[in-house]
Chains A and B, each alone.
Chain A
Amino acid sequence: MKYRYLLYILSLAILTACEPKIDEFSPSKGSADFTTYLAFGNSLTAGYADNALYSGGQENSYPNILANQFKTVGMQGDFKQPLMPTNNGVGVELISTGLFFHTKYILGYATDCLGQQSLAPVFADPDASQSDLQTQLFTSVADQGPFNNIGVAGLKSYEAISPICQFNPYYARFKSPDANFVLEEIPKINPTFFTLWLGANDVLRYATAGGAGDSITSMPLFSSSMDAIITSLTQYGTKGAIANVPHITSIPFFNTIPYNAIVLTDQGLVDALNLGYVPYNAFMEAMGMEYRINFQLGANPMVIADPTIPLPDSLAMLKIRQIKNTELVLLSIPQDSIKCAYWGSQIPVPDQFTLSESEIAAISNAIDNYNIKIKDLASLHPVALVDMNTYLNEFKSGMVFDGINFNVKFIEGGLFSLDGVHLNHRGYALIANYFIKDINRTFNANIPQVNITDYPGVQFP
């Protein structure tokens, strides 16, 4: 009988095992009003990733992540995004024959001209028909609007206030019938809080064209455009957050192909190449110019076209030189051409695939000036400044969040998506957290950040 008594005591002890409790996070909106949130920006805002706009990317756009968090501090209703109809999405490039449509990239295996298979971005559906993709992109979803996320892929600052943006299919597909440009979408939502992250394309489109096409938006044009946009966004005293422009030349798109990708292992080939450039070197010497082309065993700088070499157009074939280690080769370069078609050794790499020192300096200079302007705007208006340039710059030397390492390397760096320009889902979650941090600080709010591990990184096959 006594033993049963003991059993009771034991059971009682087990039942009293209580749960530890920590006070829950208490969200607060501070001095801002998050009732209706509008996101204004470019592809980064739209959730563009993996070289396409696709529904999964849009669902993980930083504005959508922010909207979920804003719900804890009074956001009402749905955060509407102009979702693409498929998760493969659509990307579009202008090529010599017109527009080329494609799905998003996934990580897969590609076989190069030497028959070697390697891990590489490949189209999720390489057989998708051009007309289907075109229909997906060109079908208007305006009747599902108005939209809270009016980020438009490819948008430059001045395009947001000009009817020219109607030619951008990513805007055209959700454009309200009575709006002429993106700015005119703002009153459809009448936000109480906004985020604005614009300006990257004002240099990026020039940069991704290797400085050979497009142009950097001039400072006066950038300034007046941004003034118009912020004036419209804040006209009722609306509060928001404005992010500045990251130094885009640090992204994988410009840092994956090494400048010295011409690896020679055969002395005979080295000698042959050097023999071939004897006339070039002699010519340059005769001209009193310092350009020389010289190969040796091992890794060699590519030979590139440089239209800025001061020679008459009739000597265009001599406007070539070896690339410097401070200059950048673009991810868009057809790598098979290097491996199998003598690009960079016998044939100069076309200008559109490289950024020269002076082009890099022009880009860098423009970004610095844009960011001065953005800082001014932030001081003149009731907005939080999100110093995205500084934040993203920190990733160059590597960052870690919750045990996940990030850096700016292509694919393995964990931050960028497979196009080497836009972030992956996890990267966008980090962006959302930076916004939240600065919104909290500026408006004395307490909005919860998100868990980075809840968002997927690059998916390996």
Chain B
Amino acid sequence: MRKFIYIMLLFAIATWSAHAGGYQVRLQGQKQTGIGLIGTPFNFGASSMFYNPGALSMMKNKYDFSLGASFIMGKAVFQKDATDYQAKTDNPIGTPFYFYGAGKITDKLAVGLGVYTPFGTSTKWDDDWAGQMLIQNISLQAIYYQLTASYQINEKIGIGAGFVYATGKVKLNKALPYNNSEVNLEGNTSNIGFNVGIYFKPNDKFSFGIDYRSKIIMKMEDGDATFTVPSALSSNLPKDNKFDAELPMPANLDFGLAFNVNEKLTLAAEVNWVMWSTYDSLIFTFKESGDLLNTANPREYKDSWIIRIGGQYKLNDKLTFRAGGYYDPTPTNEKYFNPETISLNTTGLTLGLSYQPIENLSIDLSYLHLFGQEAEKAYEPDNFSGKYKTQVSIPGIGISYSF
């Protein structure tokens, strides 16, 4: 057990990646991940902070802790238009992680702290690949720290809200069209946001949830831009420069419904409205040589609707099985599809297992497999087009303990 946590934490230091739904990753609880990433209509203890803070006040015990990580092993393949050229990404294993701790102050009021990573991407192409002028590698990571309060209005309704402090880190490399030239951009930032949720359980058969997470714009100021260019160009492109940019973490509105068929079997469905249309363009403003370097790169994402279904079967007091699936249409614009974020229309299939050696402890395993549909995409401003396809395996492990 200890070894597992150790390994998990070790991986959590590495960056992580996802190939679905822009750069959003909804792997914030292994139980939810196993059931098709559905969380809004459930009360799965402390991890409700992310999925639906309204459900947190419904937790059964006085204290609940949950910790886990997933291991994203994603590959994308690219076939360049009109050529026999193919390239594959060589992404590092991504490790989104979460930690939640919650306690009940009174029977009706619960508070908690959560740390989780709902956005990120890590894509690594070969340095000399055909799209080197667009991107060579990128790693983007947001960590959310959330303080949560949840109140049980009555036995049927819980409401909750969280205050989010988010930190973001981005690092990217791309080639420049001169001999042995590249630029490296790196920066950190932070901002705040919130989430709110309502959990409603009218009877033993049904439960509903609605959750909203606000948009957080990651504003990068004075990031480090390092240019490697031939000396003849160094007066135009100084080696050390600073840049400003901003990247939105879009708002999500989630509706979920769960139905207990019997004591053992539960079925659930959820839709997520992800408000990606806020991601209109990626603008870089440089402190020096701005007239030469500043760029406004269109992205023109559109909102996406993710549809999820899942089920869970409680075999006995010790074992619970889960399965689910979803369809996550890409928010990207097919004219402005940049290989920095290889987000395709994606089908996800999930499996999950919880093992409870004792009543208060649950070891949760999940497995998510993503199939990114092959599609012809172009980034028109750079006249770069071809077919992309992705496949991602994401095993995950977590534990939760309550008392």
Contact = CB atoms under 8 A, between A and B. Distances in A.
A236 interface: no
A6 B397 contact: yes
B290 interface: no
Contact of A400 (B353, B367, B381): B381
Given A19-B391, A22-B387, A72-B84, A403 B134 contact: yes
A14 B389 contact: no
Interface of A: 2-3, 6-7, 9-10, 13-14, 16-25, 27, 72, 107, 119, 399-405, 414, 433, 437, 448-451, 453-454, 456-457, 459-461
B75 A20 contact: yes
A6 B397 CA distance: 9
A7 B8 CA distance: 12
- Which of the listed residues A6, A403, A453 has the most CB atoms from chain B within 10 Å of its own CB? A403
Given A25-B85, A451-B80, 19 more contacts: A2-B355, A3-B3, A6-B355, A17-B392, A18-B391, A18-B393, A19-B75, A22-B77, A22-B79, A24-B79, A24-B86, A25-B79, A119-B232, A402-B134, A403-B379, A403-B382, A453-B175, A460-B178, A461-B230
Contact of B73 (A14, A24, A433, A453): A14
A211 B121 CA distance: 60
For the complex of A and B, the 8 pairs showing the least CB-CB separation, nearest first, are: A403-B133, A17-B393, A460-B230, A13-B395, A25-B84, A403-B382, A20-B391, A448-B84
Interface residues of B, number: 53
A7 B233 CA distance: 54
Contacts, number: 123
- Which of the listed residues B86, B134, B232 has the most CB atoms from chain A within 10 Å of its own CB? B232
Interface in B345-403: 353, 355, 357, 363, 365, 367, 372, 374, 379, 381-384, 387, 389-393, 395, 397
20 contacts: A2-B357, A6-B355, A14-B73, A14-B395, A19-B75, A20-B75, A22-B78, A24-B84, A400-B381, A403-B132, A403-B383, A404-B177, A414-B177, A449-B82, A450-B83, A460-B178, A460-B230, A460-B232, A461-B230, A461-B231
Contacts of B177: 403-405, 414, 457
B232 A107 contact: yes
A17 B89 CA distance: 14
A143 to B, nearest CB: 36
Contact of A448 (B3, B82, B179, B391): B82
Contacts of B363: 6
B365 A10 contact: yes
A379 to B, nearest CB: 26
A153 to B, nearest CB: 26
